[in-house]
């Protein structure tokens, strides 16, 4: 069965709750499609108003982060039950900005991935190399390690439903998109890694996105690659251009 594309926006720390409602209202007629799942991952405080605004549309609202404990003395964190209680089905885990500024590691990513599955939330698991790592020629080794740790103790059934976002750090917010060849090469390697950990069927089912300066001009070629099943879009997801990215064909 062909994999359905998944095109997600990552709003990062942008949009107040009232701006979020406005943006959803602006984008909802532009992102109509039956060919892809469309997800807006928004700041925690925007989840409820964005969800209200997206009611009756094809837009699904996701979270940008989640903690791996059920509840308790973890000031400032958001729990899986808080997300599922309002109907959240997707959560970004291990974005490079969280790894860089908030001390996330492959190990905390794994804990969060396991917790998300336990609660029936689909994790969008981020991986990606730095420019130095790319120049050192260790990109594939690095990504394989990130993937192997992220999926520790994850079952094949769970893994088949996961989303992986390959986001080269040097391409995020820089306007410097990876070339189609670079993006396809790594996404293919990720699929092969999943096949090694699990089996071919799981590798064929899992969806792998590319992220990093995706825009309306670069989306068609990127999303047309055999191992790229859509994108995780930052800056351009806050603009009407996101409609063009979703309807890239």
Which one among 60, 65, 146, 213 touches ligand 13P, defined by CB under 6 A? 213
Closest approach of ligand 13P to the CB of residue 6, in Å: 13
- Those residues with Cβ within 8 angstroms of residue 145's Cβ, 6 or more apart along the chain or in another chain: 106
Q: Does 214 bind ligand 13P (CB under 6 A)?
A: yes
Distance CA 31, CA 207 (A): 20
Q: Does 123 bind ligand 13P (CB under 6 A)?
A: no
Helices 180-197 and 139-150 pack at an angle, to 10 degrees, of 40
Distance CA 221, CA 151 (A): 29
Part in contact with ligand 13P (CB under 6 A); list of ranges 54-62, 74-82, 184-192, 206-214: 206-214
Sign of CA dihedral 217, 133, 147, 91: negative
Part in contact with ligand 13P (CB under 6 A); list of ranges 25-33, 66-74, 75-83, 212-220: 212-220
Annotated catalytic, 95? yes
Part in contact with ligand 13P (CB under 6 A); list of ranges 20-28, 66-74, 131-139, 227-235: 227-235
Shortest Cβ contact with ligand 13P: which residue?
A: 234
Annotated catalytic, 97? no
Looking up tokens 């996105």 gives 209
Closest approach of ligand 13P to the CB of residue 12, in Å: 7
Nearest 5°: the CA angle 142, 143, 144 is: 90
Part in contact with ligand 13P (CB under 6 A); list of ranges 13-21, 51-59, 66-74, 226-234: 226-234
Q: For the chain, give the number of residues.
A: 249
Helix ranges, the chain (H): 17-27, 47-54, 80-85, 96-101, 106-118, 131-135, 139-150, 156-161, 180-197, 200-205, 219-223, 241-246
- Of the candidates 64, 95, 97, 104, the residue annotated as catalytic is 95
Which one among 28, 47, 67, 95 touches ligand 13P, defined by CB under 6 A? 95
Distance CA 69, CA 77 (A): 9
C-beta closer to ligand 13P: residue 142 or 192: 142
Q: From the CB of residue 4, how many other CB atoms can be counted at a distance below 10 Å? A: 12
C-beta closer to ligand 13P: residue 198 or 210: 210
Closest approach of ligand 13P to the CB of residue 70, in Å: 27
| Residues within the interface to ligand 13P (CB under 6 A) | 10, 95, 167, 172-173, 211-214, 232-236
Catalytic residue set: 95, 167
């Amino acid at each position: 069965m062909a994999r359905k594309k998944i095109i997600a926006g990552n709003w990062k720390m942008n949009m107040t709750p009232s701006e979020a409602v406005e943006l959803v209202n602006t984008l909802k007629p532009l992102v109509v499609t039956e060919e892809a799942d469309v997800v807006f991952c928004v700041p925690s405080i925007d989840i409820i108003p964005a969800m209200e605004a997206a009611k009756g549309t094809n837009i699904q609202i996701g979270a940008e982060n989640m903690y791996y404990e059920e509840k308790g003395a973890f000031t400032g964190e958001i729990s899986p039950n808080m997300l599922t209680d309002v109907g959240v089905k997707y959560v970004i885990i291990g974005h490079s900005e969280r790894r860089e500024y908030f001390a996330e590691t492959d190990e905390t990513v794994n804990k969060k991935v396991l917790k998300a599955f336990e609660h029936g939330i689909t994790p969008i698991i981020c991986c990606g190399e730095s420019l130095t790592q790319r120049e050192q020629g260790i990109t594939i080794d690095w990504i394989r390690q990130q993937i192997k740790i992220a999926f520790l103790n994850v079952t094949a059934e769970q893994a088949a439903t996961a989303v992986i976002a390959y986001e080269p750090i040097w391409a995020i917010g820089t306007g410097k998109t990876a070339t189609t060849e670079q993006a396809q090469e790594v996404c293919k390697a990720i699929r092969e890694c999943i096949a090694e950990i699990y089996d071919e069927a799981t590798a064929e089912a899992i969806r792998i996105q590319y992220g990093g300066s995706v825009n309306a001009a670069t989306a068609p070629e990127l999303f047309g690659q055999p191992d790229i099943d859509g994108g995780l879009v930052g800056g351009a997801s806050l603009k009407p251009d996101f409609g063009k990215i979703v309807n890239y064909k």
